[in-house]
């Protein structure tokens, strides 16, 4: 399946979203905040705001983990070295916090020990992509990613590390500009085997906090 076909599958249209109605309500929100709606900078804001909210929540369009399963899996044998080693894939994410609808963003590192199946390196970020386009907390996002990869691969262990800066902490509340939060989800061999856990955490320490 080509990337284009995959895109179509991961982001289908969401016909039930009424952009017009959302835009009307957002106009009312701005009115209640006493924003000048005639200001040329603001005139088209409710429509743009509605549009960006729909885009940033498009992960709700895609809920079929089974489809991901059939698309992404590759079988490998235990004799194959690839099938026994820790696989680590990292990248960046950005999402909206469920409590304040403000962005949080940062880096993720996913590690897993295959059982019988592996996944193409580019597919893990696609799984992250589906989950980050929903309203999230960092904790939930890490668990959602771990759950999906677990369903796809049934690995011997899965680990998800996430580090993020939360604008709801930077711009309001405590206004902590250094509010970098870390989340760790460790399952299977990452919990049971000290060495596997150490191996993953040393990769996190090398790659996670820096870039
Ligand atoms: Zn928040």
Say whether both 97 and 174 belong to one domain.
yes
CATH of the domain at 78: 3.30.1130.10
Say whether both 36 and 127 belong to one domain.
no
170 CA to centre of ligand 1 in angstroms? 10
Residue-range definition of the domain harbouring residue 99: 64-207
The per-residue pLDDT string of the chain (211 residues; one tens digit each, 9 = 90 and over) reads: 455 555 555 545 566 889 999 999 999 999 999 999 999 999 999 999 999 999 999 888 876 665 665 566 677 766 666 677 889 999 999 999 999 999 999 999 999 999 888 887 788 888 899 899 999 999 999 999 999 889 888 899 999 999 999 998 888 866 665 678 999 999 999 999 999 999 999 999 987 665 4
Say whether both 41 and 132 belong to one domain.
no
77 CA to centre of ligand 1 in angstroms? 44
182 CA to centre of ligand 1 in angstroms? 15
Say whether both 51 and 71 belong to one domain.
no
99 CA to centre of ligand 1 in angstroms? 5
pTM, to two decimals: 0.85
Say whether both 99 and 200 belong to one domain.
yes
- Give the chain's domain count: 2
Sign of the four-CA dihedral 90, 92, 96, 99:
positive
Say whether both 88 and 183 belong to one domain.
yes
pLDDT value of position 199 = 95
CA distance 44 to 208: 39
CATH of the domain at 49: 1.10.286.10
pLDDT value of position 1 = 47
Closest by CA to 205, choosing from 164, 146, 161, is 161
Q: What phi and psi values does residue 119 have, to the nearest 5 degrees?
A: -135, 145
Contact 149, 124 (CB under 8 A): yes
48 CA to centre of ligand 1 in angstroms? 22
Say whether both 47 and 151 belong to one domain.
no
């Amino acid at each position: 399946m080509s990337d284009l076909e995959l895109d179509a599958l991961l982001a289908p249209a969401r016909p039930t979203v009424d952009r017009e109605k959302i835009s009307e309500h957002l106009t009312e929100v701005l009115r209640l905040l006493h924003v000048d709606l005639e200001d040329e900078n603001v005139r088209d804001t409710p429509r743009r705001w509605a549009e960006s909210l729909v885009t940033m929540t498009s992960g709700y369009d895609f809920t079929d983990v089974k489809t991901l399963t059939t698309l992404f899996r590759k079988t490998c044998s235990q004799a194959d070295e690839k099938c026994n080693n820790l696989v680590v894939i990292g990248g960046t994410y950005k999402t909206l916090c469920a409590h304040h609808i403000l962005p949080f963003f940062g880096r993720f590192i996913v590690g897993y020990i295959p059982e019988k199946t592996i996944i193409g390196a580019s597919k893990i970020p696609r799984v992250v992509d589906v989950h980050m386009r929903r309203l999230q907390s960092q904790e939930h996002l890490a668990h959602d990613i771990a759950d999906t990869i677990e369903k796809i691969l049934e690995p011997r262990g899965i680990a998800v590390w996430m580090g993020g800066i939360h604008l709801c902490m930077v711009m309001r509340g405590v206004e902590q500009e250094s509010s970098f939060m870390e989340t760790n989800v460790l399952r299977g061999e990452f919990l049971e085997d000290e060495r596997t856990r150490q191996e993953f955490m040393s990769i996190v320490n090398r790659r996670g906090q820096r870039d």
